[in-house]
């Protein structure tokens, strides 16, 4: 009797894995987020890994920029998720409209976006990040219900000799983002490494 239950669990686990793989394949076939139209995280990560390897091979600069909408959870609670989604759409549009064509932008998680700046060191990425921060906060976002000015916190990391893969670069960008949030939000921080 126990063996049948174990095999049922194994089948259930296999079915779950197959469903997860189907979702990943679906994302790769349709690499755009339903709300913002930006690249999905999985698709973006595949692009980022490829570009990171290229930058590493040719010893070229590359930077990751994480953009987090300040207080998005509170906005969703105070208004509603539809209102929050309208904020996401407009912030993502302002980001996308103000980066170079050769750079990439995608959804990261929650109210976060991730940008990959090719041929860009962290000082130039910081200038671009500050420009984005100011553009986003410069005018209110109008929605069906209300108009609201939002700010963003930004964390930046550049590939260095010590950073050997995209995961390590993302980790450094997250550290910089947490630093920006800890220091009061609505600011840009770079990782010191």
Name the pLDDT band for 22 (thresholds 50, 70, 90): confident
Strand partners, 189: 155
**Which fold does the domain 33-190 belong to in CATH?**
Alpha-Beta Plaits (3.30.70)
Residue 169 confidence (pLDDT): 97
State the CB neighbour count (10 A cutoff) for residue 113.
Answer: 27
Residue 7 confidence (pLDDT): 52
Name the pLDDT band for 175 (thresholds 50, 70, 90): very high
- Report CA torsion sign: 46, 51, 56, 58: positive
Name the pLDDT band for 15 (thresholds 50, 70, 90): confident
The pLDDT mean for the chain works out to: 91
Q: Is the pLDDT of residue 87 over 90?
A: yes
Residue 27 confidence (pLDDT): 64
121-137 per-position pLDDT tens digit:
999 999 999 999 999 99
57-68 per-position pLDDT tens digit:
999 999 999 999
- Spell out the domain ranges in the chain: 1-30, 33-190
Q: 69 with 137: CB under 8 angstroms?
A: no
Residue 2 confidence (pLDDT): 47
| Of residues 47 and 5, more confidently modeled | 47
Residue 16 confidence (pLDDT): 86
Instruction: Give the span between the Cα atoms of 73 and 172, in whole angstroms.
Output: 24
Q: Which of 66, 82, 83 is nearest to 150 (CA)?
A: 83
Q: H or E segment at 100? A: none
Instruction: Give the span between the Cα atoms of 89 and 95, in whole angstroms.
Output: 10
């Amino acid at each position: 009797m126990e063996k049948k239950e174990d095999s049922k669990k194994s089948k259930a686990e296999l079915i779950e894995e197959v469903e997860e793989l189907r979702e990943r394949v679906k994302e790769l076939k349709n690499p755009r987020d339903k709300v913002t139209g930006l690249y999905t995280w999985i698709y973006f990560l595949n692009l980022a890994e490829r570009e990171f390897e290229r930058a590493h091979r040719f010893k070229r600069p590359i930077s990751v920029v994480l953009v987090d909408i300040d207080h998005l959870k509170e906005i969703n609670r105070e208004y509603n998720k539809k209102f929050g989604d309208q904020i996401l759409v407009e912030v993502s549009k302002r980001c996308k409209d103000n980066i170079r064509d050769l750079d990439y932008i995608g959804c990261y998680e929650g109210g976060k976006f991730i940008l990959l700046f090719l041929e860009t060191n962290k000082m130039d990425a910081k200038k671009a990040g500050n420009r984005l921060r100011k553009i986003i906060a410069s005018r209110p976002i109008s929605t069906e219900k209300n108009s609201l000015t939002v700010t963003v916190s930004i964390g930046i990391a550049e590939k260095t000799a010590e950073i050997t893969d995209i995961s390590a670069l993302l980790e450094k960008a997250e550290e910089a983002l947490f630093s920006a949030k800890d220091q009061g939000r609505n600011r840009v921080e770079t990782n010191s490494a």
